[in-house]
Structure formats: C-alpha cells, structure tokens
Amino acid sequence: MVDNKYLDILELEGVAIVPSMLNQNQVDDLRSELELAIEEDAIHYPNVFDKGMVHNCMVRGSNMAGILDHPVMNAYLNKCFSDTCIVYAYQSSSLPPKQSNYGSRVHVDCPRFISGYNSNMGVMFPLNDFTVENGATYYLPRSHKLADLPAEDFFYANAKRAFCKAGDMILLNPRLVHAAGFNATNITRHALTINFCRSYMRQRFDFPRLISQDIIDKLGENGRRLIGMNVRMPTNLEEFYLPPEQRLYKPNQG
Ligand SMILES: O=C(O)CCC(=O)C(=O)O
C-alpha cells in the first residue's frame, strides 16, 4: 500500500507527490462540498484575514470528513510520521481566478524546528490539476532541514513547483518553506490541506467537542483517532475512573 520511494523523496526533498489517491468522482464530490462551504463562509465571515479558506472541513461535508479514513493516506502517515497522530488543522486552500491567497506568503506550516524530529506532518489533496498557470505551490527543496526561513528573493530564485493532478496526494514536511502561487486562469484552483500533529499536542480546535456525534459515528477507527477521540481529557474523577473501553484518554497513544 505504501511505496517507499515516496517516503525516501519526502525525507530527502521535504515533499512527495503520491499519484491517484482519489478518483474523479471523489474529486468532484469533494470540490462541490468545498465550493458550497466557501459560499456559506463568504456570507457569514466576509471580512476575515484568511478569506476563502474553509476551516474544519470535516464538519462541512461527509466526503471531506471521510477523507480522514482514507486507508492509503493513513498507511503513509503511519510510516512517515506516527500511527497515533491527530489532526492539528483541516482546512482548504483555494486560489480564485486572478488571485493569490493567504497561503501565498512564503511560510512554513510548523513554527518549531527540532533537528531530526517532526512534530507535525502535512497532507494536501489537490482538487484541480496544479499547473504553472493556476498557481501550483512553490517550494524550496530540502528547506525542511533549515532552522530559519530564507530571504524571499532566494526562495523564488530556487523554488520548484508542486505540479500534480487532481486526486494526487502531496505529502509535505511542514518545515518545508513553501507558498501558494498566483492563479492567472479563469477557474478556481482548489485543494484540501490537513496538518497532523503528535497525540500529546493540542489541536487548533477542540474537535471532539466541535464535531457532532452524527459525524463522529460515521467515522472509522482512524478517523475517530485523528479527530482526537483517543486523547480527550477527563474533567473529573468520574470520567477518569471510567472502565477501560470508555476511557477518554486511551492507553498507548504515543
Ligand atoms: O495552496 C497551496 O498551493 C499551498 C497551501 C499552503 O501553503 C498551506 O496550506 O499552507
């Protein structure tokens, strides 16, 4: 299920593109859910700093939730990161026609540099082909080994582009210096971006409380673990002393 070739590339370059993770129907369904969420957010949150970025995609559509149980994604995460990891943030990155977005600044997705250790891992699902015209992600190869961000002119002089197909999966070391491009076409370029963290870290949102029971019930074992269901904190002794099968913070979570 996991091709070690991509893990080697990820380790060396800081990014690897695993082809054909989603079929065309899955891509179309995900894109429809995402476009609806973007329309809704434009009404409810019209003036936010990251306008157009949908947060907490797992509560904005059953297909976007279902991605968390993608068996091959989970197999890769187990190998290149951790089999007890959880979601830090699950959002989108869309480039509307003739625009860039909040992700277009030169940045890393994890502020911590710990030599030889990843506290986070990134996964991106392009929902359109990423091309030079529609703003394929710029990245500086091997920059995940750097403690500090390079100057912007050095970045663009040496950056490569993550050219890929809709339905591929981009594995991205969150210390890799990167930036979304500019979409010069007339069609929005969409992507889903998930940042995973270690099980002992805090998530950007309190997902076990944020996500409805209905959605949680539809998730599989991986999906439930990824939203943090195995590492919930008891609020009192009654919860602390629950029987093993009901424990909120399960054993062996890394
Ligand atoms: O959309 C892209 O091309 C990059 C997204 C990005 O930089 C991010 O989500 O951190």
Give the model confidence (pLDDT) of 167-225 as tens digits: 999 999 999 999 999 999 999 999 999 999 999 999 999 999 999 999 999 999 999 99
User: 4-246: which CATH topology?
Assistant: Jelly Rolls (2.60.120)
Low-confidence ranges of the chain (pLDDT < 70): none
The pLDDT of residue 87 is: 98
pTM of the model: 0.97
Q: Which of 170, 174, 96, 109 is nearest to 135 (CA)?
A: 96
Can you name the residues that pair with 195 across neighbouring β-strands?
89, 122
Q: Atom 6, ligand 1: which residue's CA is nearest?
A: 103
Q: How many angstroms separate the alpha carbon of residue 137 from the centre of ligand 1?
A: 7
Which ligand 1 atom sits closest to the C-alpha of 130?
Answer: 3
At 8, the amino acid letter reads D
Q: How many angstroms separate the alpha carbon of residue 205 from the centre of ligand 1?
A: 19
Unique residue bearing structure tokens 């949680």? 216
Question: Which H or E element spans position 196?
Answer: strand 191-197
Q: Report yes or no: 58 and 211 within 8 Å, Cβ to Cβ.
A: yes
Phi, psi torsion values for 53, nearest 5 degrees: -90, 125
The pLDDT of residue 190 is: 98
Ligand 1, CB cutoff 6 Å, lining residues: 93, 103, 109, 137, 178, 180, 191, 193
